[in-house]
Amino acid sequence: MSVRRITWRVAVLTVAAITAFTLSPVSSSNASTPATPPNSTSLFSVSRILKLDTYGSDPSIVATGSDSMFIIGTFDRSKGAVNDLIRVDLKTWRIAAAARFPNETSVAFGDGALWWATGQNAFDIPAPDNGRVLFKIDPTNLHRESTYVLPNRTLLVTVVGSSLWVATPMMLIRLDPGSGRVLVKVVVGFTPTDMSPSGHGKYLDVLGSSGSKQFVTAYDATSGRRIAKRLLPGATGGPLATTARGVWVATDNLNNKTASARYYEGARLVPSAARGGYPFDTSLYPGVGVIWLVDSGGQGSTDCFDMSTGHVRAWGGPLGVWGSVTTYASRTYVLFERDLTDYFLRVTPSKSCN
For the chain, give every domain's residue range: 18-353
Beta carbons within 8 Å of 332's beta carbon, 6+ residues apart: 44, 287, 288, 325, 326, 346, 347, 348, 349
pLDDT beyond 60 at 207: yes
Split at pLDDT 50, 70, 90, the class of 80 is: low
Q: Name the least confident of 8-22, 69-83, 87-101, 294-308.
A: 8-22
pLDDT, mean over the chain: 85
Split at pLDDT 50, 70, 90, the class of 121 is: low
* CATH T-level topology, domain 18-353: Methylamine Dehydrogenase; Chain H (2.130.10)
Closest CA to 292 of 320, 300, 283: 283
Q: Name the least confident of 71-75, 97-101, 284-288.
A: 71-75
pLDDT beyond 70 at 3: no
Tally of CA atoms within 13 A in the half-sphere of 189 that contains its CB:
7
Split at pLDDT 50, 70, 90, the class of 238 is: confident
pLDDT beyond 50 at 32: no
Beta carbons within 8 Å of 77's beta carbon, 6+ residues apart: 53, 56, 57
pLDDT beyond 50 at 264: yes
Average pLDDT over residues 162-178: 96
pLDDT beyond 60 at 17: no
Burial of 183 (0-12, 13-18, 19+ CB in 10 A): middle
Q: What is the pLDDT of residue 77?
A: 53
Q: What is the pLDDT of residue 336?
A: 86
DSSP 93-152: TEEEEEEE-SS-SEEEEETTEEEEE--S-BTTBPPGGGGTEEEEE-TTT--EEEEEE-SS
pLDDT beyond 80 at 349: yes
Tally of CA atoms within 13 A in the half-sphere of 33 that contains its CB:
20
Average pLDDT over residues 70-99: 80
Other Cβ atoms within 10 Å of 71 Cβ, number: 27
Average pLDDT over residues 282-297: 92
Average pLDDT over residues 56-78: 82
Q: What is the pLDDT of residue 15?
A: 31
User: Cα(104)–Cα(120) distance, rounded to whole angstroms?
Assistant: 8
Split at pLDDT 50, 70, 90, the class of 12 is: very low
User: Cα(195)–Cα(241) distance, rounded to whole angstroms?
Assistant: 10
Q: What is the pLDDT of residue 255?
A: 84
User: Cα(287)–Cα(39) distance, rounded to whole angstroms?
Assistant: 19
pLDDT beyond 60 at 100: yes
Split at pLDDT 50, 70, 90, the class of 76 is: low
pLDDT beyond 80 at 308: yes
Average pLDDT over residues 252-268: 91
Which has the higher per-residue pLDDT, 109 or 4?
Answer: 109
pLDDT beyond 50 at 18: no
Q: Is pTM beyond 0.85 here? A: yes
The residue type found at 246 is: G
Inter-residue contact 239 to 248 (CB < 8 Å): no
